[in-house]
Amino acid sequence: MPETPLLSVRGLTVDFATPRGTARAVAGIDFHLDRGEVLCLLGESGSGKSVTLRALMRLLPQARTRIGGRVTIEGADLYALPERKVEDLRGKTVSMVFQEPMLALDPVYTIGAQIAETIIRHEKVDRAEADRRALELLEKVQIPSARQRLDAYPHEMSGGMRQRAMIALALSCNPAVLLADEPTTALDATVQMQVLLLLRRLQAETGMSVIMVTHDIGVAAETADRVAVMYAGRIVEQGTAAQVLKTPRHPYAAGLFASTVHAGWKGRRLDAIPGAPPDLTALPPGCAFAPRCSRRRTGCSEAQPPITRFADGREVVCIEALAAT
């Protein structure tokens, strides 16, 4: 009997009220996360990746957001839990590394105080023990002069050090699931690789599961066990990293990878995807990628294609893939 996934998402939709109408940022996605697994969400900016992560933390503003579908974490229905239970879950069961740590970290508290506060809130230990564990965490994420950095404020640290401190904060209560929202976006190439290797090492050491959002194909290749490609709020293809990155079946996934620079491509013209992503307040009735797709056929613009499941476990949402089975 297959093991129950640590995290399961079924039919997740996220709608935002805007002056121009309702924007469907996430349009009914299904995926799961197994224990000890790293899943990468890939796609252009605006494809719904970061909104999906915030939905998994129940961090979206309630006043202008409508959420549908079902999210279960360790068997608990996230959107059926009272707010107090969700507060207990954040940080302890599921934690998040945000895209910009300078905005996520509180500027008026030291790094050590912020980590210690999280530990005290969830672990019910005294301040001395929390401070000791905060120091251990800064050492674990390889921050130099860790003891001195405990008393540093976020603005006194470099971007790479702030990101490491953000990772230490996210790991402070040994979460089962770590959500990483483009954790290397604002960093230079050398620091990016250091942070990626750090995350992968910590994941291997702790056995936690990770969902990483990125638009960087190289990041997915370095870190992921499985990959899900998003476009206009939908997952259009998902499978193992080797399957999706080496032989993409969805035209958007293939176009996305073809428009990425690789080593040795100097002087070569990139095959850019024509056009622009659709207006989320007026999504077309059929495949949202059809107006930009060079392989579109009759029927692509008429109805949303169903999920095609291949024998190797890959899932693709495309009429072309349906015809190939």
The pTM for the full model equals 0.91
Supply the pLDDT for residue 1. Answer: 42
* Digitized pLDDT (tens) for each residue of the chain, 325 residues in all: 456 889 999 999 999 999 989 999 999 999 999 999 999 999 988 899 999 999 999 999 888 999 999 999 998 999 999 999 999 999 899 999 988 878 889 999 999 999 999 999 998 899 999 999 999 999 988 899 999 999 999 999 988 889 889 999 998 988 999 999 988 776 777 777 788 888 888 888 888 999 999 888 888 888 899 999 999 999 999 999 999 999 999 999 999 888 776 656 666 777 788 888 899 999 888 899 999 998 888 888 888 888 999 988 899 999 887 766 6
CATH number at residue 253: 3.40.50.300
Look up the domain containing 286 and give its range: 7-93+175-262+271-324
Supply the pLDDT for residue 263. Answer: 58
Answer whether residue 318 is part of any domain.
Answer: yes
Supply the pLDDT for residue 186. Answer: 66
Answer whether residue 146 is part of any domain.
Answer: no
Answer whether residue 246 is part of any domain.
Answer: yes
How far, in Å, are 255, 303, 313 from residue 224 at the CA level? Answer: 20, 32, 16
How far, in Å, are 69, 74, 87 from residue 79 at the CA level? Answer: 9, 13, 12
Answer whether residue 19 is part of any domain.
Answer: yes
Number of domains within the chain: 1
Supply the pLDDT for residue 316. Answer: 95
Answer whether residue 109 is part of any domain.
Answer: no
Beta pairing, strands 65-73 & 76-77 = antiparallel
Give the C-alpha separation, 287 to 291, whole Å: 8
Answer whether residue 108 is part of any domain.
Answer: no
Give 135-142 contacts, CB < 8 A, sequence gap 24+.
Answer: 137/168, 137/169, 137/171, 137/172, 138/111, 138/112, 138/164, 138/165, 138/168, 140/168, 140/171, 140/202, 141/165, 141/167, 141/168, 141/171, 141/198, 141/202, 142/198
Give the C-alpha separation, 127 to 132, whole Å: 9
Answer whether residue 43 is part of any domain.
Answer: yes
Residue 201's nearest CA partner among 171, 173, 226 is 171
